[in-house]
């Protein structure tokens, strides 16, 4: 009987536990705390945080429980991440809930979304310089797009072994948008610039909104066909929304479907961060480079907005440049918050949504370009 107890004890988490599991469990608890108590991207941080707890329960290898064990339930669910299935489904939902009106009303703001993608390529160079392989460097650089699904999609294609740290870094920085962006915004703009009021946008017709996703899809995918899975679903979701007659499908895409994909993606990405796999020196490098990438992306958007102001008759508030990163709608909200701190009657949210949604398109094109250049 003693032997049975001993054998059982040797199979328990208490016996198999490693300090790395404890660290990851603590990080998971912090994620859940930040999500619930601080309201930092709760829809992402809570599933990822709980996934970290799931993935770091020490288990006896061979029982078919771990995410990296063939035929385990988690392994099957993780298939959606490794094969890049969940990100396009999330993009479908994003498309079905995005209103491109402000972008259509003032298309020039789209350039801010393009400028912010500079962070991706500058970080790509930084990652190469730090000794990462080109495919790994591309996956790290895309963190600067501040677009979790895009980062996961590209990493699944180019560097699947880095999905855990890259996904966690991407979602962490997305959640920390209200913390990371404001200091950079204040540093790179003057008070006078932050007080600039935007012109009221023109009213956009229903027909324009209907045609936009089709034109955008055709143009962008002819230019960068590798962006097809992400942009295709984004634009398709938007067509469902704007077509009105397909409202039922649009509702499913922006509620049940995106929620299901987010839950599965969040939990499995969290569960993939097993201490022994996640706590390696390269993860530290990924987190540092991810933060750099995000800061450069924010700064690029701001600086580009200031450059645009040199040529535009009707000046734009340079804070909008920070919304060029595609953390929708968080970075647009941060722009509104920083702008209102200077002038409570200045409403920038609506205008900031334009670079914000163009950032989503821009990061999907950037992912497509990197994929096609690395494949």
Partner 1 sequence: MYGIEAINANNGWAISVVGITIVFTGLVVLSFVISQLHKVMDLFENPRKIKGWFIGEQKAAEEGEISESPPFTLTEEQKEITKQFALLARTMEEHFSLPRLLHLSQISGVKNPHSNLNILLKSAIIFPDGEGFFCWDQNLYTKIISQ
Closest C-alpha among 56, 70, 45, 11 to residue 279: 56
Q: Which 306-345 positions form the footprint of partner 1 (CB under 8 A)?
A: none
* Cis before 329 (ω within 30): yes
Query: Would you say 136 or 193 has its CB closer to partner 1?
Result: 136
Query: Would you say 28 or 368 has its CB closer to partner 1?
Result: 368
Q: Which range binds partner 1 by CB under 8 A, 2-10, 49-57, 107-115, 312-320?
A: 107-115
Query: Would you say 31 or 212 has its CB closer to partner 1?
Result: 212
Angle 271-275-278 from CA coordinates, rounded to 5°? 80
| Near partner 1 by CB under 8 A: residue from 128, 195, 277, 307 | 128
Query: Would you say 131 or 183 has its CB closer to partner 1?
Result: 131
- Residue 216 as a binder of partner 1 (CB under 8 A): the answer is yes
- Residue 205 as a binder of partner 1 (CB under 8 A): the answer is yes
| Near partner 1 by CB under 8 A: residue from 2, 191, 192, 207 | 207
- Residue 206 as a binder of partner 1 (CB under 8 A): the answer is yes
Q: Which range binds partner 1 by CB under 8 A, 3-11, 168-176, 196-204, 289-297?
A: 196-204
Question: Shortest gap between Cβ of 365 and partner 1 (angstroms)?
Answer: 5
Q: Which range binds partner 1 by CB under 8 A, 163-171, 199-207, 269-277, 341-349?
A: 199-207
Question: Shortest gap between Cβ of 368 and partner 1 (angstroms)?
Answer: 9
Number of residues interacting with partner 1: please give it, by CB under 8 A. 45
CA atoms within 13 A on the CB side of 258: 22
CB 217 within 8 A of CB 228: no
Closest C-alpha among 295, 294, 296, 315 to residue 305: 315
Q: Which range binds partner 1 by CB under 8 A, 6-14, 41-49, 69-77, 356-364?
A: 356-364
- Residue 104 as a binder of partner 1 (CB under 8 A): the answer is yes
Angle 204-91-24 from CA coordinates, rounded to 5°? 135
CB 350 within 8 A of CB 104: no
- Residue 240 as a binder of partner 1 (CB under 8 A): the answer is no
Compute the distance between CA of residue 229 and CA of residue 249 in angstroms, rounded to an integer. 19
Question: Shortest gap between Cβ of 357 and partner 1 (angstroms)?
Answer: 11
Question: Shortest gap between Cβ of 155 and partner 1 (angstroms)?
Answer: 16
**What is the per-residue binding string for partner 1 in 219-238, x denoting contact by CB under 8 A?**
xx--xx--------------
CB 304 within 8 A of CB 111: yes
**What is the per-residue binding string for partner 1 in 129-148, x denoting contact by CB under 8 A?**
xxx-xx--x-----------
| Near partner 1 by CB under 8 A: residue from 54, 111, 234, 239 | 111
- Residue 203 as a binder of partner 1 (CB under 8 A): the answer is yes
| Near partner 1 by CB under 8 A: residue from 48, 59, 122, 292 | 122
Query: Would you say 13 or 131 has its CB closer to partner 1?
Result: 131
Closest C-alpha among 104, 92, 88, 350 to residue 246: 92
Query: Would you say 25 or 332 has its CB closer to partner 1?
Result: 332
- Residue 211 as a binder of partner 1 (CB under 8 A): the answer is yes
Given the rule CB under 8 A, which residues bind partner 1? 103-104, 107-108, 110-111, 113-114, 117-118, 120-122, 124-125, 128-131, 133-134, 137, 202-208, 211-212, 215-216, 219-220, 223-224, 358, 361-362, 365-366, 369-370, 373
């Amino acid at each position: 009987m003693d032997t049975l107890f001993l054998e059982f004890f040797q199979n328990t988490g208490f016996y198999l536990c490693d300090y790395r599991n404890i660290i990851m469990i603590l990080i998971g608890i912090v994620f859940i705390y930040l999500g619930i108590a601080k309201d930092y991207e709760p829809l992402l941080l809570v599933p990822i945080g709980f996934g970290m707890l799931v993935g770091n329960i020490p288990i006896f290898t061979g029982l078919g429980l771990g995410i990296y064990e063939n035929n385990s339930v988690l392994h099957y669910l993780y298939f959606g991440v490794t094969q890049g299935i969940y990100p396009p489904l999330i993009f479908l939902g994003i498309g079905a809930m995005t209103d491109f009106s402000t972008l259509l009303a003032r298309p020039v703001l789209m350039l801010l979304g393009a400028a912010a993608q500079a962070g991706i390529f500058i970080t790509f160079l930084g990652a190469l310089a730090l000794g990462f392989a080109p495919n790994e460097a591309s996956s790290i650089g895309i963190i600067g797009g501040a677009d979790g699904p895009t980062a996961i999609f590209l990493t699944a294609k180019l560097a699947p072994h880095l999905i855990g740290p890259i996904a966690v870094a991407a979602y962490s920085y997305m959640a920390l948008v209200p913390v990371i962006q404001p200091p950079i915004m204040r540093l790179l703009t003057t008070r006078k610039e932050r007080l600039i009021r935007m012109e009221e946008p023109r009213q956009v017709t229903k027909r324009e909104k209907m045609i936009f996703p089709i034109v955008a899809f055709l143009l962008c995918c002819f230019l960068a066909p590798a962006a097809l899975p992400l942009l295709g679903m984004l634009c398709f979701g938007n067509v469902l929304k704007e077509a009105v007659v397909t409202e039922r499908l649009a509702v499913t895409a922006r509620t049940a479907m995106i929620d299901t994909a987010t839950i599965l993606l969040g939990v499995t990405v969290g569960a993939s961060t097993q201490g022994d796999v996640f706590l390696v020196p390269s993860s530290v490098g990924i987190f540092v480079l991810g933060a750099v990438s995000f800061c450069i992306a924010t700064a690029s958007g701001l600086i580009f907005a200031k450059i645009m102001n040199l040529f535009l008759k009707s000046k734009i508030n340079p804070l909008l440049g920070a919304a060029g990163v595609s953390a929708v709608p968080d970075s647009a909200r941060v722009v509104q918050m920083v702008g209102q701190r200077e002038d409570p009657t200045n409403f920038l949210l609506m205008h900031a949504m334009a670079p914000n949604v163009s950032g989503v398109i821009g990061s999907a094109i950037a992912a497509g370009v990197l994929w096609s250049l690395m494949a």
